[in-house]
Amino acid sequence: PAQADVRGGQFQLTAASRILAVSNLKNEAQLLAARLRPATGFPLQVKSGKLKISDGDIVLTPNGADASLGAEGYELSVTTNRAVIRATTAAGMFYGMESLLQLLPQEIFSNQPASGIAWTMPCAEISDAPRFAWRGFMLDVSRHFFTVAEVKQVLDLMALYKLNTFHWHLVDDQGWRIQIKKYPKLTEVGAWRDDIGFGLASNSATAYDKHGRYGGFYTQRDIREVVAYAAARHITVVPEIEMPGHSSAALTAYPQFVCAHAKIVMPGKGGVFTGVYCAGNDATFVFLGNVLKEVAGLFPGKYIHIGGDEVDKSNWKNCAECQARIKAEGLKDEKELQAYFIRRIEKIVEARGKNLIGWSEIREGGLAPSAALMDWIGGGAESAASGHDVVMTPTKYCYFDYYQSTNHAAEPKAIGGFLPLESVYQLEPMPEKLAPEFQAHVLGGQANLWTEYVPNLRQVEYMMFPRLGALSEVDWSRPTARDWEDFKTRTALNEKRLDAMGVNYRPLSKPE
């Protein structure tokens, strides 16, 4: 935390303890009670309104909160009599609750009764607020499908680390995972493939239907359920609908939107696949506009992510319609055609009251006027300096699909690379030479977990932890507050919390 003063004495939670909260903090109070009850066995009644505070109570109140701490800041005061969290918003209150949990014995995170534990926390005065507004984690559910229950588990773990943005990679070559009612074949066809692929054992995942097809998708009801679950934990969900590349699943279902000469075959079914929408066909933009209309209606957050990365432009070079578009719009080449594509999609996104965000490559040919950039291979500093919002997610520090050891034989199969815990902790989201007047455009940092070789939740957890703890601290804390040796000590303690929750992780003691 930004400031913490540990004092003498302890506060003890007992069976008589209550959680007192003003009425608009009932959601937070109930979430706190739900976390405290299983391990303690205490009833922990939630009460609201004007109540007399008794010894042993936990109090959630905006009264006297320091407004200078901002929308996500909080103060936590623990005395021998009670624990009080003050915040001006429900989000700040939630983060104060997460800090309170960390002051209790690690067994508090168990979902089973823990006997013989003195449920005490040290007396302390904490004043805290995050450095960055965007503290993100991306999960790719296209390569392998994860159930609603599994996604909720990921959200719970994000909340523990005070992350507030869940980037949901719903669409790619290998699977279309979101129901679009106007285009049912997107999920009837695009959500399934013949086998697990990627050279993985077929039994390393369970996402098969009764016909043996591999995949799955979320209904719009599922999507709303996940979004609401995330919102209750103060997490915004950012959907990613890939375009113009990485779109084989969609184009297998609706091949009329690929360049006329191109062959499109879903990965896992053999043949050649291109996965790039035709930029010269106006019907492509009608189709994507209809898709984005339904997407925008499901996600109340500010951003829709449209990908924009790794676009194979060879189809466009050989497509009469794309070449005609280049000529008609006065474009120089296929790079500018991609910029034209993104600008046109940006107008569609903005018409739905959203902002477009995409990967580094959306800068090619000129960045769309109001677009935000997610920097994985460069361009973040330049984009921020030109007035665009930026999220920093460089591969060197943020790609959790990379190995955690140079000894690959001792690790689960991964895509390659090497990203040890210390490297994640060395991330500095703020570009070094960015002028102060543009620094507000750097929204924060994000970890990405691409899942080509991560087919089940246990492996997702192993790739997330302990690295997600490092990423969360980089996003939350000031650089002057970070200390690698101290972080390792706290990571060892955090392993006990993960053990209590039954979460898989890579032990700190395991050689890199």
Q: How far apart are CA 455 and CA 215, in angstroms?
A: 11
Q: What's the alpha-carbon Rg for the chain, to the nearest Å?
A: 24
pLDDT for 265 equals: 54
Q: In the block, which residue shows the tokens 């004007």? A: 50
pLDDT for 267 equals: 55
Question: Residue 467 is which amino acid?
Answer: R
Phi, psi of 252 (to 5 degrees): -70, -40
pLDDT for 90 equals: 98
Q: In the block, which residue shows the tokens 């507000």? A: 440
Give the CA distances from residue 460 to residues 426, 457, 504, in Å, rounded to whole numbers and listed in that order: 22, 5, 8
Kindly list the averaged pLDDT for each block of 10 residues, start to end, along the chain of length 512: 95 97 93 98 92 93 96 98 98 98 97 96 98 98 98 98 98 97 98 96 97 97 98 98 96 93 56 77 98 98 96 92 98 96 97 97 90 97 97 98 97 97 98 96 98 98 98 97 96 97 97 92
Q: Which two tokens stand for residue 17?
A: 């303890």
Whether 112 contacts 50, CB under 8 Å: no
Q: Could you give the residue numbers annotated as active site?
A: 172, 246, 310
Q: In the block, which residue shows the tokens 């229950």? A: 149
Which residues are CB-contacts of 488 (< 8 A; sequence separation ≥ 6)?
Answer: 508
**Cα–chain center distance at 308:** 18
pLDDT for 197 equals: 94
Instruction: Name the pTM for this structure.
Output: 0.97
Q: Which two tokens stand for residue 339?
A: 């910029």
User: What separation, in Å, do the N-terminal and C-terminal C-alpha atoms of the chain show?
Assistant: 28
Q: In the block, which residue shows the tokens 């302890």? A: 10
Q: How far apart are CA 337 and CA 333, in angstroms?
A: 6
Please report how many Cα atoms fall inside a 13 Å half-sphere around the Cα of residue 239, on the Cβ side.
28
pLDDT for 365 equals: 86
- At CA 29, angle to CA 26 and CA 34, rounded to 5? 125
Which residues are CB-contacts of 194 (< 8 A; sequence separation ≥ 6)?
Answer: 213, 214, 268, 269
Phi-psi group of 267: left, alpha or beta (phi > 0 → left; psi -120 to 50 → alpha; rest → beta): beta
Whether 60 contacts 22, CB under 8 Å: yes
What is the CB neighbour count within 10 angstroms for residue 78? 25
pLDDT for 263 equals: 65
- At CA 376, angle to CA 374 and CA 379, rounded to 5? 70
Helix axes 320-328, 334-351, angle to 10 degrees: 80
